[in-house]
Homo-oligomer: A and B are copies of this chain.
Amino acid sequence: MAARRNLPKPTDAASSPVSMADLARELGVSMTTISRALSDHHSIGPATKQAVLKLAKKLNYQPNHLAAALRKGKSKLLGVIVPYIEGRFFASVVHGIETAASKAGYSVIICQSSEDVAQERKNVETLLSAQVAGILVSVSRNTLDFRHFEKVRKHGVPLVFFDRILEGDNVNAVVLNDRGGANQATRHLLEQGCRRVAHLAGPLHLNIYKNRRQGYLDALESFGIAPDESLIMDCDMTLESGAACMAQLLELPNPPDAVFSAGDSAILGALQLLKSRGIRVPQDVALAGFSNEALTSVAEPMLTSVDQRCEEMGQAAFRLFKDLVDAEGTAFSQRQVVLQPQLFVRASSLRTGPA
């Protein structure tokens, strides 16, 4: 018994949805009254209001947001454009955005640019056509200009950038203090007694990698160490690339005693290469990465890394959008929110003995 629990009753093919007009007819009042009852307007008798709400529940009334949005000229849809959604970082940021947004009654439409400006342009068009209330975007790797975002502003749609932004443009943005985080990580390595700290740098046209590199340089300077160009490697931040860079670093006449990478995959590649050569981590070479990916706690030794506060970033981005909406008309120009990263120190950088 109890074999088939909640099977659909056979007798219901898509019955036409019930509208406000239906409620009005049924109750013998005007649509205006229905609208007011449903939207909690003040000019409405408590009795009628209750009656409306009751009937709405009974008939399973489902408001049509499209119609409302069309009429009001503003939807409760929020557009989000990310390079891709796989991988911890963007998934977490989107998680943060969605959570904050839905609390405020917004639904989020997600678009992937696949690291391609052309697609990003299409995404913008799509979102504008969907009449979104705002757009949150982290630009693709090869986005070099702002033309397609001009259109967004022309339509009067609030625009917020997060994480990856275009340098030199004054826009609303939420970013991580990448420079500070990199500085912190590098200082930590220096404090462990390392003196030849190498850096795996990402593509420098992206603000995030440029800033991480700068933070690395800052730390060296504060320790009075002159930067050595041969210790700064161009790296595309993949596992393979990290290993290749590490191999190259080991070829140097005077190889590094520590490596700070602008990303975690690359530092893992470096770790694997070191282990394959029998070089001890952290005793011979100490390591630190950036992003605090899950893999940092799985690697052996566990990897020191800078956490990016992904979820906070999502929340902050939404809040900034909301501020823009609420400040409608109030002419305030640009807002930047800067989040403070947090260094997670793990075994890969902790030298047990003295410096």
B155 touching A14, Cβ below 8 Å: yes
Residues of chain B within 8 A (CB-CB) of A8 are 150, 153
Partner of A154, one of B4, B12, B88, B145: B12
Partner of A64, one of B84, B129, B295: B129
Q: Which of A93-101, A246-254, A280-288 contacts B (4 or more CB under 8 A)?
A: A93-101
Q: Report the copy number of this chain in the oligomer.
A: 2
Q: Report the minimum CB–CB distance from A298 to chain B (whole Å).
A: 5
Partner of A3, one of B94, B98, B168: B168
Q: Report the minimum CB–CB distance from A316 to chain B (whole Å).
A: 17
A94 touching B85, Cβ below 8 Å: yes
- Can you give 15 contacting A-B residue pairs, CB < 8 Å? A8-B153, A12-B153, A14-B156, A62-B125, A64-B131, A66-B66, A66-B130, A66-B131, A77-B130, A84-B95, A85-B85, A85-B95, A87-B91, A91-B91, A300-B300
> Apart from A3-B168, A5-B169, A107-B130, what 17 extra A-B contacts exist at CB < 8 Å?
A6-B146, A6-B150, A12-B154, A14-B156, A62-B129, A65-B131, A66-B66, A67-B70, A85-B94, A86-B91, A87-B91, A95-B112, A98-B110, A98-B112, A108-B109, A108-B110, A294-B295
Binding site for B on A (CB under 8 A): 3-8, 12-15, 17, 60, 62-67, 69-70, 75, 77, 84-88, 91-92, 94-95, 98-99, 102, 107-112, 125-131, 145-147, 150-151, 153-156, 166, 168-170, 268, 294-295, 298-300
